[in-house]
Amino acid sequence: MKTIFKKLCMAAALTAASSVAYAVPITVGGITWDPDYDSGSNIEDLYVVSSLEENVVSSFGETISGFGIVNEFNGLPRTLYCGADCVLAYEFGGYSLFAADFDNSAAIGDVGTFSFTGGWINVYVVSYTDAADYNLTAAEKAAGTLWLSANAVAMGQDGITLSGSINFDDVILGPVNVPGSPVYAYGNGSGYFDVGDTSGVSDGGVGVANNNFDTNNALGNKPFNTPCVGGDPLLCSDMFFSSLFNGLASNIGSGAQDFQGSATLRGDSIPEPTTIALFGLTLLGLGVARRKMKA
C-alpha cells in the first residue's frame, strides 16, 4: 500500500512539474514568448499587435502588398520580446483583388465589401534601426533572420483568402484617399495563414519558428498538430489575422498613396519537445500506479 501511495505522489509531482514546464518561455531566433500566455481565448497563446502600411488597388486582378512592425508580442513591448535594437518586421503580398461592390464614385455614408485571393506573409527578426521606416530592403532582410513564413488560406468558394468591408465618410475625418472624390475611407479585413505551406511565399524560405506554430488549429476545434483531413484548407490553418486601415496621404518610402493601419495575429504554439516528454512521463507514472492498484 505504501508503494502505491509513493507512486501516486510521484505521479502528482510529475503532473505539477509538467504544468510548470508549460509556462517556461520559449526562445526561437532571438524572440522570447510565453507558451502559456492568456490572450483571453481558449486556444491562443500568441497575440501580436502591429502597425502596417499597404498600397491601394483600383482594378480587379491588381495585387496589394505592404509591410509593418510588431509593436507588442503577448503583452510585451519590442524591447522585452526582442531587445534594445531588435524587432519583428514583416512584409506581405500576392493578394489579388477578386471582388468589390464599390468604386471611386463612392459617396459619404456608403459601405462596401471586398475580397482577395492568394497572399503570403514573411516575418523577420531585424535591427530596429533598419526597420525604422517599416519597409525592409533586401540587404536588411539578409542581415536578419526569417522568423515566420506562411501562405494565406482559402476560406471557401472561389479561393477567397482575405475579405472585409470599407466605409466612406466625410473628409474632415482624415486625408482624401479616394481619387477624384472628397471622401475618407477606412475599414477592416481578416483571413487565415498556414505556416505548414510556404510554397508561394516570397523568398521561398521557411521561418525558424514555423514548426512552433504549425498547429493546424486556428479554428480552435481540435488538439494541436492534428493532421489536416477532409479537404478543407481551413482545417490546415494555423493563425488568424485581422486588420484595421484608414487613409494615408503618401507612402512613407515612395510617396505613393497608401493605407495605413494596424493588424493582430493570433495563434497557438506547440510546446517544446522537453515539455512534451515531461508530460508523457507524467502519464506513464499515473499508468504504472493504476496498474499496481488493480494488482
pTM over 0.85, yes/no: no
pLDDT digits (tens, 9 = 90+) for 204-229: 678 999 998 888 877 665 555 556 66
Q: Are residues 60 and 206 in the same domain?
A: yes
Q: Are residues 14 and 55 in the same domain?
A: no
Q: Are residues 82 and 192 in the same domain?
A: yes
Confidence of residue 230 (pLDDT cuts 50, 70, 90): low
* Residue 285 lies in domain: 1-22+272-295
Q: Are residues 292 and 238 in the same domain?
A: no
Q: Are residues 17 and 154 in the same domain?
A: no
Q: Are residues 198 and 287 in the same domain?
A: no
Question: DSSP for the chain?
Answer: -HHHHHHHHHHHHHHHHHHHHTTS-EEETTEEE-TT---SSSS--EEEEEEEEEE---STT-EEEEEEEEEEETTEEHHHHT-TT-EEEEEEEEEEEEEES--TT--TT-EEEEEEE--EEEEEEE-TTGGGGS---HHHHHHSEEEEEEEE---SGGGEEEEEEEEEEEGGGS---BTTB-EEEEEEEEEEEETT--TT-GGG---TTHHHH--S-TT--S-TTPPP-TT-GGGG--EEEEEEEEEESS-TTT---EEEEEEEEEE--PPPHHHHHHHHHHHHHHHHHHHHHH-
- Total of domains in the chain: 2
Q: Are residues 235 and 288 in the same domain?
A: no
Q: Are residues 110 and 68 in the same domain?
A: yes
Q: Are residues 34 and 138 in the same domain?
A: yes
Confidence of residue 84 (pLDDT cuts 50, 70, 90): confident
Q: Are residues 284 and 181 in the same domain?
A: no
Q: What is the pLDDT averaged over residues 101-114? A: 79
Q: Are residues 146 and 172 in the same domain?
A: yes
Q: Are residues 5 and 129 in the same domain?
A: no
User: What pLDDT is stored for residue 111 in this prediction?
Assistant: 86
Confidence of residue 94 (pLDDT cuts 50, 70, 90): very high
Q: Which residue has the higher pLDDT, 164 or 234?
A: 164
Share of the chain above pLDDT 90, in %: 25
